[in-house]
Copies of this chain bind each other. A is one copy, B any other.
Amino acid sequence: MSTGWQEVQAEVLRRIQNREWPPGGLIPGEVALAREFGCARATVNRALQALADDGWLERRRRAGTRVALSPLRRAQMSVAVLRKEVEALGKTYGHRLLMRKVAGSLLSLQTLHQADGAPYGIEDREIDLTHLPAAGSADFTILSANEWLVQNAPFDHGNMSYMSEGATAFDARHLECEEATPLLVLYRETFSEAGRITRVRLAHAPGHVVRLQI
């Protein structure tokens, strides 16, 4: 029997998906599985660990390994730079800095993102200069704030929200659509250890689709 941890993983996953090991059920211990597959316990451990990371199994010392009760799947999307998102569509990216304003330690920016010259999204951003003083002297007319931040402001964590909103007068003017047109709007905050780095509202052009993989 060939003994790779990936093969062990595949076989265990198959048993889970085929209900041979039902949700909530206890599966054999690592030692037993190692004997069955004819490999070392470490190999089984590697496989089960990977499955636990992916949410298929729940493992606790002494208590053993169970098939996850609610196999709540995670959907993933990559948080790409807008330029790359546009280029991935085979279009030419462009952007225009519409507004730049400093109020205290808060830098406000408005940027229009374009794909082949057409409006792609309108961005309204605030950057906290106390946590990121370099942003005060950066030239966002060349590199967009979106891309500059990805390269210069590594963040710990953040959150994103998608909402459906009718286009405001501001949105409509820059996205070249009617007011109240349904738009997909993204709100995002990112934090470093010190605190919030930036907050952004991005209204996408009409018809924009966000895709996730499950």
Contacts and interface: CB of A to CB of B under 8 A. Distances in A.
Interface of A: 17, 19, 23, 53, 70-81, 84, 150-151, 154-155, 157-166, 180, 182-185, 188, 190, 204, 206-214
Contacts of A19: 154
B79 A159 contact: no
A81 to B, nearest CB: 7
A2 to B, nearest CB: 20
B208 A160 contact: no
Tell me the interface secondary structure of chain A in the complex. strand
Copies of chain A in the complex = 2
A212 B188 CA distance: 9
A184 B162 contact: yes
Given A74-B78, A163-B207, A163-B209, 14 more contacts: A72-B78, A72-B80, A73-B78, A73-B79, A79-B214, A159-B211, A160-B211, A160-B212, A161-B210, A162-B209, A163-B210, A164-B164, A164-B184, A182-B183
B78 A76 contact: no
B78 A77 contact: no
